[in-house]
Amino acid sequence: MRVLALIGALGDGSPTLWVETMAAILIRAQRLNDVDSLLVLECIIHAAADEALHYEARQGLYEAAIARDLPAIARLFLSISPAVAVPTQLKKQLGPERRLIPTGRLLTLGERKSLARTHDREKLGKMIADPHPAVVTILLDNPHITELDVVRIAAMRPAVPEALAKVAAHTKWSVRHAIKRALVLNPSTPLADAIRIATTLRATELAELAADVSLPEPLRLHAAELRAATRHGA
């Protein structure tokens, strides 16, 4: 509900005032490790990613952030990510049928989606390895899934970008710190999602991301600029 209310406010308010407010919240969350500011920042991240934020509002906020020389804020409103190639072996697992175990029988997507709703921990452990976004979506809402299970999904390599985007958008799991780290460090996570998530990480982690040459250059640049901006209060 808070995210939906924020989406409406972002669309109706002054873009310049909003980006200045976001910058202030970001600085407070990062420099003072303020819990309330971090919670507001999480809401902003989800609102910026939500398709309900219409294009005109998104464009206005992006342009206002650029005009105020706040590129780290501007990137939050980018919704397009470069395509990430899905390995051939993983593509085969996205087919209509796959085995849960090498010696098991082929299961249809419908059967796997049904199994993703199970409360049986042994079966859930096998389903976590299923890369299909439709299966992941059901797993994330399964009340018997644990944070460690979702970390395993977020850290899976290779992974399907669409499946990782489901984790990044999930209001319950995407705020868990271990899951955020796993997503940001996974090269298959859509860049726009990785950038938004990185915005909520700690200063020491931003320095780690900025120095990690295995990560996409735009993500490293975002981490470096974000750390510099919050360090100097700009």
Q: What is the pTM of this model?
A: 0.85
Distance between CA atoms of residues 205 and 201, nearest Å? 6
pLDDT at 80: 73
92-102 average pLDDT score:
75
HEC string for 30-69: HHCCCHHHHHHHHHHHHHHHCCCCCHHHHHHHHHHHHHCC
148-175 average pLDDT score:
94
pLDDT surpassing 70 at residue 106: yes
DSSP string, 90-132: HHHHTSSEE-SSTTSPPEEHHHHHHHTT---HHHHHHHTT---
pLDDT at 234: 46
Structure tokens at 161: 């970008």
